[in-house]
Amino acid sequence: MVVELSARSRQILEAIIEDYIATAEPVGSSAVARRHAMTFSSATVRNVMANLEEMGLLTSPHTSAGRVPTEKAYRFYVDSLVGLRKITREEKRLLIQRCRQSGAGLPGILKEAGRALSSLSNYMGIVVAPSFTSDIFRQIEFIRIGTRKVLAILVSSNGLVQNRLVDTSDDIPEHELLVMSNYLNDLMQGLTISQARDRILAELNSEKVRFDRMMSRALQISEQAVTTGEEEIFLEGQARILDQPEFSDAARMKEIFQTFEQKGRMLHLLSRCMNADGVQIYIGSETPVSHSAGMSLITSRFTTSNNTIGLLGVIGPTRMGYSSVIPIVDYTSRLVSRLLSEI
């Protein structure tokens, strides 16, 4: 439903939301008139606040004389009122320094980006790495770690690594494992991880493999190693959520942290965010992360040199400093895309 407000109602609603973001305390009419140097009286502000409450934009907690914004109010604020501040030179410097200090390599850049997002926003930073199966295969290596046990190390062109412990039907000496890995590296060169797996399955069914025992064993081991595992997710600054007064309730915190701990569930919930361009803002019940925890999520996609897509953003309370966080998320996604294009 489209919300239509007069200029006066918009001014008062904006003042209430910004006061509540700053203080986490219900906002009264006299405080609004005083803090924002309104040209109209406290009584006028009070009447406007009553109208905003009837429209579902404000609510009265308990018996307090003050009001707090609703999800509907935050959505209107983000869509129509918020003035985005420019990211500062110091914030840019910190982001660049943190992301580059990890050294080249996608995992380090993404982890540091999450930490920097958390540090600058004072909320929780989240980064979803690009799908491993969409990345280009670089190499596979086999290490014998015991009788009939081999560690398969699969590396993508972006530096992502998957380790798989594989059980073999017989004991394979180190020199044979080296021959196998060389064969597979030639076989899968230039393919995506997903295509590499398809090539392995096709080779296993070919006639020539039936008469080459070593080749057959190499393909069987690599079939177990080259899996379509889920993307990696980096969560940084979870403890910062504890600093927010609205999350002092133990049951609420338990719900939030249970969601964060289930990374597979997190990836599933965040999957729809991967399909939208630009900065996306999900408020309260719109947020895929939790159904009732009063959270907001601001995300933006980034791309690698191979044009695979990842996601980064910030999770915090609905009482989030949107004017500051939105430009930080936007700049970070563009920075990460630029850094990854140089790898």
Residue ranges of domains in the chain, CATH in brackets: 7-81 (1.10.10.10), 89-130+231-341 (3.30.450.40), 133-225 (3.30.390.60)
Q: Contact 218/184 with Cβ under 8 angstroms?
A: yes
Q: Contact 325/123 with Cβ under 8 angstroms?
A: yes
CA 289/CA 268 separation, integer angstroms = 9
Q: Contact 103/154 with Cβ under 8 angstroms?
A: no
pLDDT at position 164 is: 85
Average pLDDT of span 115-133: 90
pLDDT > 70 fraction of the chain, expressed in percent and rounded: 92
CA 275/CA 318 separation, integer angstroms = 23
Note the pLDDT tens digit of each residue in 43-63: 899 999 999 999 999 998 876
Residue 101: band (very low, low, confident or very high) from pLDDT cuts 50, 70, 90:
confident
Average pLDDT of span 205-215: 77
CA angle 221, 222, 226 (to 5 degrees): 135
Selected residue with higher pLDDT from 116 and 239: 116
pLDDT at position 49 is: 93
Selected residue with higher pLDDT from 126 and 263: 126
pLDDT at position 231 is: 67
CA 301/CA 309 separation, integer angstroms = 7
CA angle 193, 198, 200 (to 5 degrees): 95
pLDDT at position 34 is: 81
Map tokens 């407000």 to a residue.
5
CA 92/CA 128 separation, integer angstroms = 21
Q: Dihedral sign for Cα 37, 38, 39, 40, please.
A: negative
Residue 240 has pLDDT above 70, yes or no: yes
First vs last C-alpha separation in the chain: 46
Three-state secondary-structure class, residue 153:
strand
pLDDT at position 247 is: 75
Residues 6+ apart with CB under 8 A from 134: 192, 193, 194, 306, 308
CA angle 14, 18, 24 (to 5 degrees): 135
